[in-house]
Amino acid sequence: MADLILKPTREKSLLRRHPWVFSGAVDRVLGDPQPGETLNVLDSSRNFIAKAAYSPFSQIRARVWTFDENENVDADFFRRRVDSALSLRATLGFFTGAESGSPVTDAFRLIHAESDYLPGLIVDRYGDVLVMQLLTAGSEIWRDTIADILIEKTGLNSIYERSDADVRGLEGLPIRTGTLRGSMLDRLTIREHGIRFIVNIAGGHKTGFYLDQRSNRHRIAAMAAGRDVLNCFCYTGGFSLHAIAAGAKSVLSIDSSGDALALGQENAELNNLPAAALAWREDDVFLALRKFRDERRSFDMIILDPPKFAATVSQAEKAARGYKDINLLAFKLLRPGGILATFSCSGGIDAALFQKIVAGAALDANTEAVIVEHLAQDCDHPVSLHFPEGTYLKGLICIKRE
Ligand code: SAH
C-alpha cells in the first residue's frame, strides 16, 4: 500500500477523527497510488494515523475509511459499514429489509457519506428502488462491490445510479447515470406522512427528492391550517401539498423549474387535493417577491427553501446577501402574526450566521419577530460529531409580531 506522509503537526484534525486530508497538509506521497486507491496516512514521524482513499485531483487529497490499522478496506469492510448504516436506520424506525417502509415513509437515506463513515457514498431508498450516488474517487472504485452488498443486505433488486453531482468534476470523474442493478425504472411513487409523491429518479434533483426536509414539511404543515401560504422554491410541491392537506386556505407555489411544477401538479392530483386552492407559478423567486411587494400582496405563512447559495465559507458573503434579500422581502409580505419558515442548505453558512442574517433581514424590513423553532435535516441524514460539515440544513420558524 502507498503511504501519504503529512507535514509536521498536520495530523491534528485527523486525531480528532475528522476524515479529510487537505492537499496543504500533505508532505509527500510514496509509491504510485491510482485515484481511489487506499493508502496509509502517516504523520511526519511515520506513525500510522488512518487508511484513506486517494483523490489526486481534489483539494481534499484523501478521505479516511478507517482509523484502525488492523482493519482492511475490502468487501467485508463495506459489509460492516453498510450493516451499521442499516442498523442505525432500523433504530430510527425505518424498515431496512425488503419490507416497504415505516408508517411514516417508504423513502429515506440509507447511507449519508462521511456521517455513516463512508465518504463519498450516498444511498437513498425510494420504495423498492435504491438510488446510489458516488462522489469521490475512493467510492468510485468500489462501485460494484458496494452495489452487490446493497442488494445482499437490503433484499431489494434494483439500483439506479445518479453519479451526476458537480463535485465529481473536482475528483476528475465523469458523470454517470443509469440502471446499475435490476430493471429500468425512472419514475416511481413514494409516501411521506400520508401524502404520495411521484419521484423522477432519473431526472429529478439530487437523487430525486429532498428527503432531508421530510420532518420539516410535516412540522410546518401542522401550523398551516386556515392560512394563505406562499411556498417559495417549491420543487415538486413538498411543503405545498402537506400544507393544503393540513388545512391551509390556499397555497401559492413558486419555482423556476417548469418540470418540477408540472410534477407538483401531478402530485396534487394523485392525492386528490383541491386544485382550486393550489396555484403554481413558474418564476424567479427574487423577482416574484418584489412584484408581490409592489402589488401589496400579503400572506399568513411564507416558506423559503432556496437551493444552496454557498458550498464553501469563501462564497458565504455573496450567499448572505441572497438570504438577506429573500428573507427581508418575506418579512414585508407577511401579515402580522404570520409565520416565516426559512431555510439554508449552504454548507458555507452555519446556523449562527444564518440566524444573524435573518435577524438583519427583519430589522431592515422594520419587523419584529420571534423564533419559535430551530430546524435541521431529518434523522436519516445524521451528522458525525467529528464531521461538523455534515450539518448543512438549518431552518428557523419565526412568527411576526401582531
Ligand atoms: N422545498 C422543496 C425543495 C426545494 S429545492 C421540497 O421540499 O421538495 C430548491 C428549488 O429551488 C429547486 O426546485 C429549484 O428549481 C428552485 N430554484 C432555484 N433557483 C430558483 C430561483 N431563483 N427562483 C425560483 N426557484 C428556484
Ligand 1 atom 20 nearest Cα:
256
Q: Is the dihedral of CA 115, 350, 310, 234 positive or negative?
A: positive
Ligand 1 atom 9 nearest Cα:
307
Give distance in angstroms: CA of 205 to centre of ligand 1: 10
Using the atom order of ligand 1, give the atom closest to the CA of residue 343. 1
User: How high is the pLDDT of residue 311?
Assistant: 72
Using the atom order of ligand 1, give the atom closest to the CA of residue 238. 7
User: How high is the pLDDT of residue 180?
Assistant: 97
Residues linked to residue 124 through DSSP beta bridges, in sequence order: 109, 131
Instruction: Indicate the top mutation candidate among 241, 256, 375 to test ligand 1's pocket, ranked by most ligand atoms within 8 A of CB.
Output: 256
Catalytic residue (choose from 232, 345, 379, 398) = 345
Q: For Cα atoms 80, 81, 87, give the angle at the middle one, nearest 5 degrees.
A: 90
Confidence of residue 30 (pLDDT cuts 50, 70, 90): very high
Q: For Cα atoms 340, 342, 392, give the angle at the middle one, nearest 5 degrees.
A: 160
Q: Scanning the structure block, which residue is given the C-alpha cell 429515506?
A: 108
The candidate with the shortest Cα–Cα distance to 251, out of 271, 272, 232, is 232
- The grid coordinates of residue 292 equal 408581490
Q: Round the average pLDDT of the chain to a whole number and report it.
A: 96
CATH C-level class of 3-66: mainly beta
Give distance in angstroms: CA of 191 to centre of ligand 1: 21
Ligand 1 atom 23 nearest Cα:
284
Q: What is the pLDDT of residues 255-270, one digit of tens each?
A: 999 999 999 999 999 9
Q: Which of 28-32, 97-101, 115-119 has the lowest mean pLDDT?
A: 97-101
Given its phi and psi angles, is residue 321 left (phi above 0), alpha (psi -120 to 50 degrees) or beta?
alpha
Which of residues 316 and 370 earns the better pLDDT score?
370
The Cα–Cα gap between 107 and 355 comes to 30
Q: Give the phi and the psi of residue 41 in degrees, each rounded to 5.
A: -100, 125
Separation in Å, CA 61 to CA 58, 283, 351, 364, 384: 5, 40, 28, 43, 20
Instruction: Confirm if 129 and 123 have CB atoms less than 8 A apart.
Output: no
Residues linked to residue 3 through DSSP beta bridges, in sequence order: 30, 40
Confidence of residue 153 (pLDDT cuts 50, 70, 90): very high
CATH C-level class of 75-188: alpha beta
Architecture of domain 210-400 in CATH? 3-Layer(aba) Sandwich (3.40)
Q: What is the pLDDT of residues 256-311, one digit of tens each?
A: 999 999 999 999 999 999 999 999 999 999 999 999 999 999 999 999 999 999 77
User: Is pLDDT above 80 for 138?
Assistant: yes
User: How high is the pLDDT of residue 315?
Assistant: 84
User: Is pLDDT above 80 for 341?
Assistant: yes
Using the atom order of ligand 1, give the atom closest to the CA of residue 210. 8
Per-residue DSSP letter, 33:
P
User: How high is the pLDDT of residue 136?
Assistant: 98
Confidence of residue 21 (pLDDT cuts 50, 70, 90): very high
What whole-number percentage of the chain has pLDDT above 70? Answer: 100
Give distance in angstroms: CA of 326 to centre of ligand 1: 13
Separation in Å, CA 7 to CA 27, 49, 244: 5, 13, 57
Q: Scanning the structure block, which residue is given the C-alpha cell 444511498?
A: 123
Mean pLDDT in residue range 19-42: 98
Give distance in angstroms: CA of 232 to centre of ligand 1: 7
**Domains of the chain by residue range:** 3-66, 75-188, 210-400
Q: Which residues of 145-158 are buried (b: 16+ CB within 10 A; e: fewer)?
A: ebbebbbebbebeb
Using the atom order of ligand 1, give the atom closest to the CA of residue 236. 8
User: What is the SS3 assignment for 369?
Assistant: strand
Residues linked to residue 22 through DSSP beta bridges, in sequence order: 60
Q: What is the pLDDT of residues 343-380, one digit of tens each?
A: 999 988 999 999 999 999 999 999 999 999 999 999 99
Q: What is the pTM of this model?
A: 0.96
Separation in Å, CA 220 to CA 173, 242, 301, 348, 396: 39, 8, 9, 25, 11
Give distance in angstroms: CA of 58 to centre of ligand 1: 28
Give distance in angstroms: CA of 255 to centre of ligand 1: 5
The Cα–Cα gap between 160 and 62 comes to 27
Ligand 1 atom 18 nearest Cα:
307
User: Is pLDDT above 80 for 100?
Assistant: no
Concerning whether 345 is annotated as a catalytic residue, the answer is yes
Which of residues 389 and 32 earns the better pLDDT score?
32
Q: What is the pLDDT of residues 181-213, one digit of tens each?
A: 998 778 999 999 999 999 999 999 999 999 999
User: How high is the pLDDT of residue 96?
Assistant: 86
Ligand 1 proximal residues by C-beta, below 6 Å: 205, 210, 213, 217, 233-235, 238-239, 254-257, 260, 284-286, 305-307
Instruction: Indicate the top mutation candidate among 212, 235, 304, 325 to test ligand 1's pocket, ranked by most ligand atoms within 8 A of CB.
Output: 235
- DSSP H helical segments within 225-367, as ranges? 238-245, 258-270, 285-294, 316-333, 351-364
Ligand 1 atom 6 nearest Cα:
238
User: How high is the pLDDT of residue 101?
Assistant: 82
